[in-house]
Structure 1
Amino acid sequence: MKRTPVNPWAWSLKLGYHQAEILEGGHRQLVCAGQTAVDAEGNPQHPGDMRGQIALALDNLEAVLGAAGMNLANVTSLRIYATDVDEALKNFDLMGMRFGPVDAAPPMTLVGVTRLALAPLLFEIEATAAD
């Protein structure tokens, strides 16, 4: 799959994402449900700890991608929901630490919400991936 970044402005690059990407030659697309900070039984983890929740949500996203034979380099877009946008942004270095090494900067949207499906959850990440 060929990915061509589209960035009419450069400001988003400092935050680790492209405004858009043109995808050409992809064969499979994976649409992931929102991944949160839950264990293998679906129990919320890291209550009150945004950083811990972001890290575990990313671990869970990587597990879903891996089960489909993909990884973070295959992610073509992200939708992120946070109960505290400012706190999420303080910890967005975790996103760069995961996506940077695979040279990926998928387009993303960050949305503030009053709560997620389970009250202890603070952060949820949806992804679309392709290969």
Structure 2
Amino acid sequence: METRQINPWKWQDERSYAQAVEVKHAESTLYCSGQTAINADGVSSNEDMKSQLIQAMQNLEKLIEEAGYECKGIVRLNIYTTSTAELWPHFPVFQEWINKHGIRQALTLLEVTSLFETLKVELEATVVK
């Protein structure tokens, strides 16, 4: 598989994403449902934004690995949050996770009115290998 990031500008580099990602010769593609801070028993978290972000990343990572893929294969990531103002101070936690896995994905960040139950952030990914 080959991937190529297309970045007509430089400013997105500080935000840990690419403007576009081209994938050639992929063996397979995994489309992940949005992953949130729901525990193994199906209970939604009522913790703060940072805690929920960390658990959502852990859940996404577990799903990807369970499917036989690697996080470095994430080429598209959508982030849904009930508050970008509340999420933004914790963005470095997300960036550390991105850098740890060597991910350079196309990214969309959306603020939504609500998520399921008490959830504050949801991560939806497309992964290739």
TM-score normalised by the chain length of structure 1: 0.94
For 2:99, the equivalent position in structure 1 comes to 100
Stretches of 4+ moved more than 6 A in 1? none
Gaps of 5+ in 2: none
For 1:74, the equivalent position in structure 2 comes to 73
- How far 1:89 moved relative to its partner? 1.4
Within a 5 Å distance, the mapping from 1:45-124 to structure 2 comes to 45=45, 47-118=46-117, 120-124=118-122
AA paired with 1:113? V
**Contact 1:81–1:125 (Cα < 8 Å) also in 2:** yes
- How far 1:101 moved relative to its partner? 2.0
TM-score normalised by the chain length of structure 2: 0.96
For 1:42, the equivalent position in structure 2 comes to 42
**Contact 1:48–1:122 (Cα < 8 Å) also in 2:** no
For 1:129, the equivalent position in structure 2 comes to 127
- How far 1:105 moved relative to its partner? 1.8
Q: How many residues align?
A: 129
Q: Percent identity?
A: 32
AA paired with 2:126? T
Q: Distance in 2 between matches of 1:71 and 1:39?
A: 21
AA paired with 1:85? T
Say what the alpha-carbon RMSD is for the aligned residues. 1.0
- What is the DSSP-based 3-state SS (H/G/I as helix, E as strand, rest coil) of the residue aligned with 1:56? helix
- What is the DSSP-based 3-state SS (H/G/I as helix, E as strand, rest coil) of the residue aligned with 1:91? helix
Q: Distance in 1 between matches of 2:50 and 2:110?
A: 17
- How far 1:69 moved relative to its partner? 0.9
Q: Deviations over 1:76-113 (max 9, x none)?
A: 10011000011111111122111102221211100001
**Contact 1:79–1:110 (Cα < 8 Å) also in 2:** yes
